Structure 1
Amino acid sequence: MSSDIKVTVDGVIYQIQSHGGISRIFSEILPCLCDMDESLSITLLTSGRCRQALPVHRHIYHRSILPIDRLLRPSRLWTAIAPRAKEFIHRPWVGSGKGRIWHSTYYTMPFSWNGALVVTVPDMIYEKFPKYFKASKEFLKRKRRCVEQADKVIAISESTKCDILKYFKISEDKVSVTHLAASNLFKEASQNDKNKLREKFGLNKPFIFYVGSRDTYKNFLMLLKTYFLWKKRRDFDLICVGGASSWSNDEIKVIRRANLNNSVKLFVSVKDEELRTFYSCAYAFVYPSLYEGFGIPLLEAMACSTPVVGSNTSSIPEVVGDAGLYFKPSSKEELLAVLDEVTNGTTLREKLIRKGVNRSKKFTWEETAARTYKIYKEIL
């Protein structure tokens, strides 16, 4: 290949997120893109302190630009004009964009950019659940402007694409889907690693597993309340990894009222290798979310030979396919039924494990990068 593609990526997301999320997408695909095409070069712009390591490759060039936010005192006026002001002030560092692609990680648009514009949209959660997320009017305007003016919009699932088309006035042809993937690290752990993990964390009973934040839209409280009912007929623990480092007041109320202190356990500081082993030890992975843009933990679980029980909403069925069991996220009865189903004997469980491992192999970061590369080629 000799396309001589030059891409500028705003590093905003690396200043916002300390790990995972949107930043993980770019950390995975940018080196892959450079490996695909020796003539492709990426300039990664950052302004101010980053909260995590930036992706490294001989064709990824890190460039720091003036941290405007730290030089000016916060004010209502500044908050309102900041995005456009920064775009104008940063122009000497960013350039005019002629012959280049600007790929936005978090709804930025350089001032008077003459090149192509690409934006990745991970979800439409602010628009779909305004009661849970109080995004500023300025942010929502900036997002809309960036999406509507972009040459190409990348959605991370068909579900997210449908949501974008519902809320924004853009043509369907403008939106392309690039599915995500799990890291190659995630595969079933050895029996030795499983035994060590059980001993280290005191995992003495079979357990169902939950991973990630427990924000309202994640529907964790519904899982917790259902688990209390299910616990009466199945002697399983509920193990949670990640998210807030302590239980919320609402979670504590449920745990105490249901006397679940010894059955529900939370572990926060877990290495990726340990997370893989948690998945591998779990009897089932439960994902009760009301909404997901994609859902990488679903792929991680399947890759680790763990059956998936997920809500039948948004992107979850798109990712899991026929390799999991589903329930309405509002229905305790349906969740109870599928938990019974997946823990009642081994035949179904083994079938789900086999299908899940095969399903997870269909999603790779190399494929994500290849689809992104194709988008770059189309707009130049």
Structure 2
Amino acid sequence: MNTRFLLPSKMEGFGWYTYEVTKRIVENHPEHDFIFFFDRKYDERFVFGSNVTPVVLNPPARHPILFRIWFNLSVTRALKKYKADVFFSPDGFLSLKTNVPQIGVIHDINFEHYPEDIPSSARNYLRNFFPKFARKATHLLTVSEYSKQDICRTYSIDEEKVSVAWNGVSDAFQPISETEKEAVRARYTNGKKYITFVGALHPRKNVKRLISAYKAILTDDPSFEYELIIVGETLWKRSGYDLDLDEQTKAHIHFTGHLSLEELARVMAGASVFAFVPYFEGFGIPLVEAMRCKTPVLSGNLTSLPEVAGDAALYCDPLSVDDIADKLREICENPALRDELSQKGIIRSQLFSWDQSAEIAWNVIENVLSKTS
């Protein structure tokens, strides 16, 4: 198993997916032995059972040149050394130099549609190698029906080769009391109600348009009573992604950077509205986190987001600042709508579970093993 994204204090999307799925697979199947491939010193908390053998493979794979060395040389040799029956890769990267059956989880292929959003070195690697990974894989997993159709269409992959397993949601995300909400507001917004966004500060997350919409509301109505909390860090170093905020808008926007899971859950549950308007998303776990917290959701209406949020969100056109602003104002000023979305959200959130995600992943692994043994 490729576990290179299990990094203490640096867990993001791939890391949490790897954690939630591999932990359950290991714990549910003590009759099997698992080899975890790390690319640096690992934390013992990520060795989930006595049936796990942790192995550090060099070099640390955080650059396209090092990706090639790690997957095509280090992983290939380790698969042979440990006589692996199958290689499971939660981030979709595979070895092109092994005959061992491989299962890749391709979450989305945003880089095919918006290559300009990604630094050139990463962009060139992803667009060159992911079609090869998709063809090389014995089977693929992805996280939404939207992503499945996109992968199959873009890479000319047979639909039978791709299985869908929706992401789950951490139990840390739960509704909180009004007293707890007041404490969160006191900490972050000097007691004021707030809208929140959670996600990497990456162009496709569309934070620029969200902030422009928020600014438009403030300009039109300076008494607008909601602050804006942005939770997340820049995904790509030196990406040139600059939000370019004026001082008046800055006074009402609060950037938290990375938060612990527990603190993130409190901020999400304390929000009056969760605004999530990416123009491209393979799944959108924060939608489910918000719904689990009973926080009303404003969502973009493109790619996978309607599949995930269903009838439990108010939708907007993420490419239109005016529409984002109109819908944001609508949800903030309509308590009956917020209450309706809260109730629908808590019901819909029950459709998503990491237990189910891990079970589907394991069924794929077993199916591959049965065909190759």
| Shorter-chain TM band | 0.7 to 0.9
Aligned 8 A contact 2:38 2:54 in 1: yes
Q: Structure 2-normalised TM-score?
A: 0.87
Name the SS of the counterpart of 1:322 in structure 2: coil
Aligned 8 A contact 1:320 1:359 in 2: yes
Q: Of 323, 326, 347, which aligns to 1:358?
A: 347
Name the SS of the counterpart of 1:131 in structure 2: helix
Match of 1:159 in 2: 146
Match of 2:79 in 1: 94
Aligned in 2, Cα 1:20/1:103: closer, same or farther, shift over 3 Å?
A: same
Q: Structure 2 CA distance, aligned partners of 1:163 and 1:17?
A: 32
Give how far 1:15 is off. Answer: 7.1
Q: Structure 2 CA distance, aligned partners of 1:326 and 1:210?
A: 15
Q: Of 218, 225, 239, which aligns to 2:212?
A: 225
Q: Of 112, 118, 133, which aligns to 1:146?
A: 133
Deviation readout 1:179-232 (Å, 9 max, x if unpaired): 101101100123332232222234322211111222211111111111112123
Q: Does 1:284 align with 2:273?
A: yes
Match of 2:88 in 1: 103
Aligned in 2, Cα 1:137/1:50: closer, same or farther, shift over 3 Å?
A: farther
Within-5 A mapping of 1:184-333: 184-231=171-218, 232-233=220-221, 234-244=224-234, 250-252=242-244, 254-256=245-247, 259-333=248-322
Which amino acid in structure 2 is aligned with residue 293 of structure 1?
G
Q: Structure 1-normalised TM-score?
A: 0.85
Q: Structure 2 CA distance, aligned partners of 1:367 and 1:215?
A: 29
Q: Structure 1 CA distance, aligned partners of 2:70 and 2:170?
A: 38
Q: Does 1:345 align with 2:334?
A: yes
Aligned in 2, Cα 1:326/1:86: closer, same or farther, shift over 3 Å?
A: closer
Aligned in 2, Cα 1:202/1:374: closer, same or farther, shift over 3 Å?
A: same
Q: Structure 1 CA distance, aligned partners of 2:113 and 2:256?
A: 30
Higher mean alpha-carbon deviation, 199-208 vs 286-295, is at: 199-208
Aligned 8 A contact 1:18 1:52 in 2: no
Aligned in 2, Cα 1:62/1:320: closer, same or farther, shift over 3 Å?
A: same
Aligned 8 A contact 2:274 2:290 in 1: yes
Match of 1:123 in 2: 108
Aligned 8 A contact 2:167 2:352 in 1: yes
Give how far 1:138 is off. Answer: 4.3
Q: Structure 2 CA distance, aligned partners of 1:112 and 1:202?
A: 53
Give runs of ≥4 in structure 1 deviating > 6 Å.
96-99
Q: Structure 1 CA distance, aligned partners of 2:106 and 2:19?
A: 16
Q: Structure 2 CA distance, aligned partners of 1:112 and 1:297?
A: 36
Aligned 8 A contact 2:94 2:137 in 1: no
Q: Structure 2 CA distance, aligned partners of 1:368 and 1:264?
A: 35
Aligned in 2, Cα 1:68/1:227: closer, same or farther, shift over 3 Å?
A: closer
Aligned in 2, Cα 1:97/1:52: closer, same or farther, shift over 3 Å?
A: closer
Q: Structure 1 CA distance, aligned partners of 2:132 and 2:42?
A: 25
Within-5 A mapping of 1:24-173: 24-49=16-41, 54-65=46-57, 67-68=58-59, 79=65, 83=68, 87-88=72-73, 91-95=76-80, 100-106=85-91, 107-109=93-95, 111-113=97-99, 115-133=100-118, 134=120, 135=122, 137-173=124-160
Give how far 1:55 is off. Answer: 4.9
Higher mean alpha-carbon deviation, 84-93 vs 369-378, is at: 84-93
Name the SS of the counterpart of 1:62 in structure 2: strand
Aligned in 2, Cα 1:200/1:44: closer, same or farther, shift over 3 Å?
A: same
Give how far 1:164 is off. Answer: 0.6
Q: Structure 2 CA distance, aligned partners of 1:200 and 1:136?
A: 39
Give how far 1:287 is off. Answer: 0.7
Q: Structure 2 CA distance, aligned partners of 1:48 and 1:239?
A: 34
Give how far 1:265 is off. Answer: 1.4
Q: Structure 2 CA distance, aligned partners of 1:264 and 1:44?
A: 41
Name the SS of the counterpart of 1:361 in structure 2: helix
Pairwise CA RMSD of aligned residues?
2.9
